[in-house]
């Protein structure tokens, strides 16, 4: 096993379980952090495993056959996930996204969806339950996901060109199978379906306009994501980031676009529509235009660590609290305490890190924390 592999595994160190506050308080449906950002959105990673080896996420050099994935017993069970999710919903979470790794690799994922779909906000509304997938298993699973109560899916697809896509996914997976998955998801009613393309300069940026052309005038909303410095193994370089402004410029040069307002303040994508009325695209400028000031998102790792930022170097061990027999009220008080202390704004500070300011220690991998 190489040093690098050991390093990735060791990032999952557990800090001691959080301390239960002296005063236990019942959730009120609202808790805000030090920058007045409410807790509204929860991403849950269902597995750290994936059948792809995307160059920007789980490159083969770091996630090869010797890589040690989490043992089964350390994964949260569906009951544990649902219990934690319920606590977050009581604090004001309205939207839950299942992710990973590849979430459709988790066995019987539809049973979990069925359990989460029962959750209601304190006001009695359904929560918005969605899932992000690489699409490889979607053709097989779309209908079962819908039947279980999943509202929508987001599908990742980085190119329509097989050679480019295979180079990016690292496992020779063909484009056509993802397109079949998209069609199956649409037929099952898992819409509106978003398609996420991570743009890595020099690798797939020539695919920006063909992807836009392909998805224009279809039910699918294409979104371009800037290549991020997530984790510590994707060899990120600023000069491989294609700024969203450049993505919009290239598309608009052929298919004129106009800006439209976002529906939600916390929406990460900037929306643009084709002037001829044939649909919209989104751009997510995680690097060039940070949106930390509106970030209302918490992340729960596969083994029950709570992270308050995608770029965090440490998490808070909720699994130990659950397995030690703490009550829902105690765990809810811990979550409130953690959220109230939150001050994360990595993306806003990135440029100062790039200019030599001290960075957080090693960042956690996206496949572990959930993208
Ligand atoms: N396996 C699923 C998938 O690929 O859709 C879900 C997990 S994946 C980590 C979630 C999202 O993160 C995907 O859309 C992926 O493209 C994106 N992602 C992963 N690494 C990234 C990076 N370094 N920069 C930008 N986006 C990234
Ligand atoms: Fe797997 Fe998704 Fe990461 Fe690609 S982006 S390696 S599909 S977890
Ligand atoms: Fe949120 Fe952290 Fe991303 Fe800023 S860097 S938007 S705080 S996840």
Question: Separation of 123 CA from ligand 1 center, angstroms?
Answer: 32
Question: Separation of 97 CA from ligand 2 center, angstroms?
Answer: 15
Would you state the pLDDT for residue 234?
76
Domain total of the chain? 1
Q: What is the mean pLDDT of residues 162-171?
A: 98
DSSP one-letter code for 126: B
Q: What is the pLDDT of residues 276-307, one digit of tens each?
A: 999 999 999 989 988 899 999 999 999 999 99
Which residues sit opposite 317 in a β-bridge? 305
Which among 83, 42, 70, 104 is positioned nearest to 319, based on CA atoms? Answer: 83
Would you state the pLDDT for residue 157?
98
23 is a domain residue = no
248-250-256 Cα angle (round to 5): 70
210 is a domain residue = yes
Query: CA-to-CA distance for 291 and 268, rounded, in angstroms?
Result: 7
Which among 351, 317, 295 is positioned nearest to 20, based on CA atoms? Answer: 317
Q: What is the mean pLDDT of the chain?
A: 92
Q: Is the shortest distance between the CB of 345 and ligand 3 below 6 Å?
A: yes
Tell me the percentage of the chain whose pLDDT exceeds 90: 82
- Specify the 3-state DSSP secondary structure of 317: strand
Query: CA-to-CA distance for 175 and 131, rounded, in angstroms?
Result: 20
Asked whether the predicted pLDDT for residue 326 surpasses 70, the reply is: yes
Would you state the pLDDT for residue 7?
39
263 is a domain residue = yes
**Domain residues for 270?**
3-17+29-369
Would you state the pLDDT for residue 4?
39
Q: Is the shortest distance between the CB of 315 and ligand 2 below 6 Å?
A: no
Would you state the pLDDT for residue 346?
87
DSSP one-letter code for 135: S
Asked whether the predicted pLDDT for residue 187 surpasses 80, the reply is: yes
Q: In sequence order, what are the residues at sequence separation of 6 or more whose Cβ sits closer than 8 angstroms to the Cβ of residue 30?
A: 38, 91, 92
Q: What is the CATH number of the domain that holds 163?
A: 3.20.20.70
| Full-model pTM | 0.94
Strand order of the β-sheet with 257-260 is 257-260, 270-274, 280-284, 221-226, 194-199, 152-156, 128-133, 95-99, 41-45, 297-300, 305-307, 316-317
The alpha carbon dihedral of 248, 250, 253, 256 has a sign of: negative
166 is a domain residue = yes
Query: CA-to-CA distance for 267 and 291, rounded, in angstroms?
Result: 9
Q: Is the shortest distance between the CB of 292 and ligand 3 below 6 Å?
A: yes
Would you state the pLDDT for residue 358?
60
341 is a domain residue = yes
- Picking from 13-17, 181-185, 203-207, 209-213, which range would have the lowest pLDDT averaged per residue? 13-17
Per-residue 3-state assignment (H helix, E strand, C coil) for 26-85: CCCCCCECCCCCECCEEEEECCCCCCCCCCCCCCCCCCCCCCCCCCHHHCCCHHHHHHHH
Q: In sequence order, what are the residues at sequence separation of 6 or more whose Cβ sits closer than 8 angstroms to the Cβ of residue 203?
A: 55, 164, 167, 168, 240
Q: How confident is the model at residue 3 (pLDDT cuts 50, 70, 90)?
A: very low
Q: Is the shortest distance between the CB of 284 and ligand 3 below 6 Å?
A: no
Atom of ligand 2 nearest to the CA of 63: 6
24 is a domain residue = no
300 is a domain residue = yes
43 is a domain residue = yes
Would you state the pLDDT for residue 1?
34
For ligand 1, atom 17, which residue shows the shortest CA distance? 371
| Nearest listed ligand to the Cα of residue 231 | 1
For ligand 2, atom 3, which residue shows the shortest CA distance? 57
Q: How confident is the model at residue 121 (pLDDT cuts 50, 70, 90)?
A: very high
Within 6 A (CB) of ligand 1 lie 50, 56-57, 99-100, 102, 132-134, 156, 196, 198, 225, 227-228, 230, 234, 366-367, 371
The alpha carbon dihedral of 195, 198, 199, 204 has a sign of: negative
């Amino acid at each position: 096993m190489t040093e690098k592999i050991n390093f990735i595994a060791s990032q999952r160190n557990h800090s001691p379980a959080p301390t239960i506050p002296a005063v236990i308080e019942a959730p009120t449906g609202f808790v805000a952090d030090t920058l007045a950002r409410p807790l509204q959105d929860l991403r849950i990673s269902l597995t750290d495993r994936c059948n792809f080896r995307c160059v920007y996420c789980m490159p083969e050099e770091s996630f090869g056959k010797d890589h040690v994935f989490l043992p089964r017993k350390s994964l949260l069970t569906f009951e544990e996930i649902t219990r934690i999710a319920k606590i977050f919903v009581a604090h004001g979470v309205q939207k839950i996204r299942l992710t990973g790794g590849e979430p459709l690799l988790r066995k019987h994922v539809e049973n979990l969806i069925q359990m989460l779909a029962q959750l209601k906000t304190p006001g009695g509304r359904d929560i918005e339950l969605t899932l992000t997938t690489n699409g490889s298993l979607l053709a097989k699973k779309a209908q079962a996901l819908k039947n279980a109560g999943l509202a929508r899916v987001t599908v990742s697809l980085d190119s329509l060109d097989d050679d480019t896509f295979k180079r990016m996914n690292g496992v020779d997976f063909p484009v056509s199978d993802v397109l079949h998955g998209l069609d199956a998801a649409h037929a099952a009613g898992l819409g509106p379906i978003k398609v996420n393309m991570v743009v890595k300069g020099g690798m797939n940026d020539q695919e920006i306009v063909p992807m836009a052309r392909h998805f224009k005038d279809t039910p699918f909303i294409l979104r371009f994501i800037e290549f991020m410095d997530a984790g510590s193994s994707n060899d990120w370089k600023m000069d491989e980031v294609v700024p969203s402004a450049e993505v919009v410029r290239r598309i608009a040069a052929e298919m004129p676009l106009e800006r439209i307002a976002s529906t939600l303040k916390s929406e990460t994508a900037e929306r643009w529509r084709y002037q001829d009325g044939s649909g919209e695209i989104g751009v997510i400028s995680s690097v060039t235009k940070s949106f930390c000031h509106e970030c209302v998102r918490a992340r729960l790792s596969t083994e029950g660590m709570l992270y308050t930022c995608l770029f965090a170097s440490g998490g808070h061990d909720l699994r130990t609290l659950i397995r030690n027999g703490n009550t829902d009220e105690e765990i809810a008080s811990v979550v409130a305490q953690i959220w109230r202390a939150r001050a994360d704004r990595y993306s806003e500070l990135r440029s100062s890190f790039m200019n030599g300011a001290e960075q957080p220690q090693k960042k956690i991998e996206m496949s572990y924390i959930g993208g």
